[in-house]
Amino acid sequence: LEVVLPWFAIGTAAMANGICRAAVQRTTEHLVSTGFEHDGLMLRDLPNLRARLAEMSVRTEQSRSLLGQTLDQIESPSEVTPLFVLQSRLAALQAAVDVTDLAMKACGGAAFSRHLGIERLFRDARAGWVMAPTVDHLNDFIGRALTGLPLF
C-alpha cells in the first residue's frame, strides 16, 4: 500500500490538474470568441465572467504548485513527504471540482453543450471524489497525520 498509494495519488492529482487547465483554456476561448449580437459586447467584456476566469486560474496554479512541491518531496523524501502526497491529491481533486463549477457558471448554457467539452470536464472532475481514497478518506488521513496518529 505504501508503494502504490503515493503513485496513484500523484497520478490522480496530475489528472485533476489537467482537468483544471483544460477548463481554464476552454472557458477562456469561449469568453473571447462569444458575444451578444444585439449590442456587440463579447463575454470577456463582463467583469463577473472575467472574475470567475481569474479565480479558476488562481485555483489551478495553487494546485499545480502544491503538486510541484510534492514531486520535490518525493525526490528528497522526509517525514512530511506522505503528508504532501495526500494533500496534493486532495487539493487537486477539490480544485478540479471548484474550477469546473466556475467554468459551468462562466460559460452559461453553452457549458452544457458537448462542443465546449466543459460538461465532460465537470463530470470527470467529480470522479476523483469517489475513487478510493475518497476525499473523506484523504481528509481523515491528513488529520491523522497532523495529530500524530498512524494513517492506517
Count CB neighbours of 22 within 10 A: 20
Position 68 pLDDT exceeds 60: yes
Which domains are present in the chain? Answer: 4-146 (1.20.140.10)
Angle at 59 between CA 88 and CA 71, to 5 degrees: 30
Q: What is the mean pLDDT of the chain?
A: 96
pLDDT at res. 1:
47
Which of 58, 36, 60, 56 minimizes the C-alpha distance to 46? Answer: 36
Structure pTM? 0.94
> Hey, what's the cell of 49?
465572467
> Hey, what's the cell of 73?
518531496
How does residue 2 score in pLDDT terms, banded at 50, 70 and 90? low
Reported as type and span, the H/E element at residue 47 is helix 47-75
Average pLDDT over residues 108-117: 96
